[in-house]
A and B are shown apart, each in its own frame.
Chain A
Amino acid sequence: MSRKTDRSKELRAIIKSHKRWDVIFGLVGLGAIALAILTLVALFAQMVIDGFPRISVEFFANFPSRRAGQAGILSAWVGSFFVMIVTALFAIPVGIASAIYLEEYARKNWFTDVIEINISNLAGVPSIVYGLLALGLFVYTFGFGQSILSAGLTLALLILPIVIVTTREALRAIPQTVREGAYACGATKWQVVSDHLVPYGMPGILTGVIIGLSRAIGETAPIITIGALTFIAFLPPMPFTGDPAAGLFDWLFSPFTVMPIQIFNWTSRPDPAFHANAAAASLVLVFLTLGMNGLAIWLRYRLRKNIKW
C-alpha cells in the first residue's frame, strides 16, 4: 500500500516537473515577444521624442537646407509621391495580369514551372541588386537617366513578386463553383475573369498592392544605387507650368529625391540638429508605411469576416 502511494507521489513529482517546463516556456515565449515589441516601442518613442517637435506645416513646405532648423521635406515627399505613381501604374496591371495568367490560363508545363520558380527566386533577390539592374538597364541602356521614371520602374519590378503572389492567393480562394456557374451560362474565359474573379478577389488583390507599395515607399538602397541626388531644392516640373511650359510627361525625367534618401542624408550628418530632422521625417515615413500596412491588415480582416462562400 505504502509502496503504491510512493509510486504515485513519484509520478506526480515527474508530471509536476514536466509541467513546470510548460510554464517556463510560456514565460520565455512571452518574453521573446515582449522584447520584439519593446524594440518597436523604443523605436517609436525615440522618433516621437526627437522628431515630433520638428513637425509643422513648414517642415512639409520647405526644401532641404544647410540650416537644420529651416530644412523641410517638400522635395522628398513630392518625389516619393511621383515615384509611387510610376510604380503603381506599372506594378499593379502587370502584377495582376501575370497572376491571372498563372492562376487561370497557364497550362501545367515546363514554361509555367519556369515562371513560377523564377517568381519565388525573384522574391529572394536583395533589393540592392534591383538597384544595380536599374543602373545598368534603365539609367544607361535605356537612357532614362537618374530620373523618377527609372526609380518608379525599379521599385515596380521589386514589388512585382509580392503583387503576383497575393493576387494568386486571392484568385485561388474563389471556389471553383463560381467559375463553373459562369461557364455554364456561356461566358468566355475572359468574361469569367473580368466579371467574376477579379471583382470577387478585389479585397485580397488590394491587400497585396498596398503591402507592395508600402514596401516600395520605404526602399532606400535601390534608389541610392541609381544615383538619386540627396540635395534637391526644386520640384519636378508640373505639366503645363513654368516657362517654357513643361510637357505632360516632363516630370518623369526629372531628378528627384525621396523620403528614405532624405532621412539617410540627415542621419549621416554629424550635427544632432539634423538628426532631429531625420527623426521627424522617419516619423512621417513610418506613419505612411504602417498606415498602409494597417489598411492592408484591416482589409484582410474584413475579407475573412464578410465573405462566406
Chain B
Amino acid sequence: MIRRPVLIAALAGLALVAAIASLRFGPVDLSLARLVAAATGHGDRIAAIILLDLRLPRTLLALAVGAILGLAGAALQGYLRNPLAEPSVLGTSNAAALGGVAALYFGFAQMHPAALPLLAIGGALLSLALLFALAGRSESPLTLILAGIAVGTLAVAGTSLALNLSPNPFAAMEIMTWLLGSLENRSFQHVWIALPCVAIGMAMLLWNGRALDALTLGEDAARALGVDIGRMRLRLLVGTAIGVGGAVAVSGAIGFVGLIVPHLIRPLTDRSPSAILLPSAIGGAALLTLADLGVRIIPTTNELKLGVVTAFLGVPVFLVHLMREKRLW
C-alpha cells in the first residue's frame, strides 16, 4: 500500500507526462521549439493549427474519456462487488455506441447537436437498467458477466443493424470505429460534447465512496450503516450512463480500461472501494492517453483502433480474475 497523496501525485504525474507526449508526437514531425512557440502564441500558423486544433483536443479527450472509463469501472466494481464489472464488459459502452449510431445515421444529430450525447446516454442508461434488473442482486459474478454479455451482444447487433438500415454505403468502416473506438480527427467540438458529460458523471460517481465501502459488508449492513441503497444505485446508474454515454458519443466503445486500471490500482491502496475511485480516474486518463499515443506511433497503414490496444492489455487481466473466481462457480 502506498500513501494516498503519494499515489495520487504519482498517477497525476504519469497522466501529465502522457499528455505532454501526446501533444509532442504525431504524423507530422514538429520540433519542440516550434511546438513551444505555437503554444505560447508566437508560432507559425501550421504548427499552431496542428497543436491547438488537432493534438490538443485529442489529448484532452483521451484524458477525459480515460478518466470516466477508469472511474466507472472502479465504481461499478464496488457497487456490484465484482472485480470483473466494467462498462464494456457489462455492455454499457456498446449500448452507448448504439445510441450514438442512431443519432448520427438517422439524422437526429443534424437536427440538434445535443442529440448525439443524449442518445448515447440513453443507450447506456437503458443497458444498465436492464443489467441491474437481470443480475444486480445476484451474488454470483458469473450471472452478472453473462447478463453483461447478453446486453452487450444485443447492443452490437443493434449497432450493425442500425448501420445497415441507414442510407450509408460506408457502414462497415463506421461499425469498426464505433465498436473499437478511436480518437482520430477529433476536434474541440467533440471536447465540448464529452467534457460536460464526463464532469457530471465523475461527480456523481465520486460521491459514492463511503456508500461503496459500507457495501463491502453486504446490502443489509450497508443500509444499517446509514446508506440509502436506492439513491446510491440511481446515482451510479445515471452517473455511469451520463459519463460513459458522453465519452462513447465522441470516441466509440473503448473496452477494458475500467477493468485494467482498478486492477492495477487496488493493490496500491487499502483495497476499499472508495480508495480506488479517484486514483482509477487519474490512472484511466493516463492509460488511455498512452494507448492513444501508441496507436499513433505503431506504424500501420490505417491507424490502429484504440480498442485493439486496450483489449490486448485488458483480456489478460480479465482472465486472471476468471481463474481466481473459478472456484466460486
Do A and B assemble together?
Answer: no
Interface residues of chain B, those whose CB is within 8 Å of chain A, are none
List A residues at the B interface (Cβ < 8 Å): none
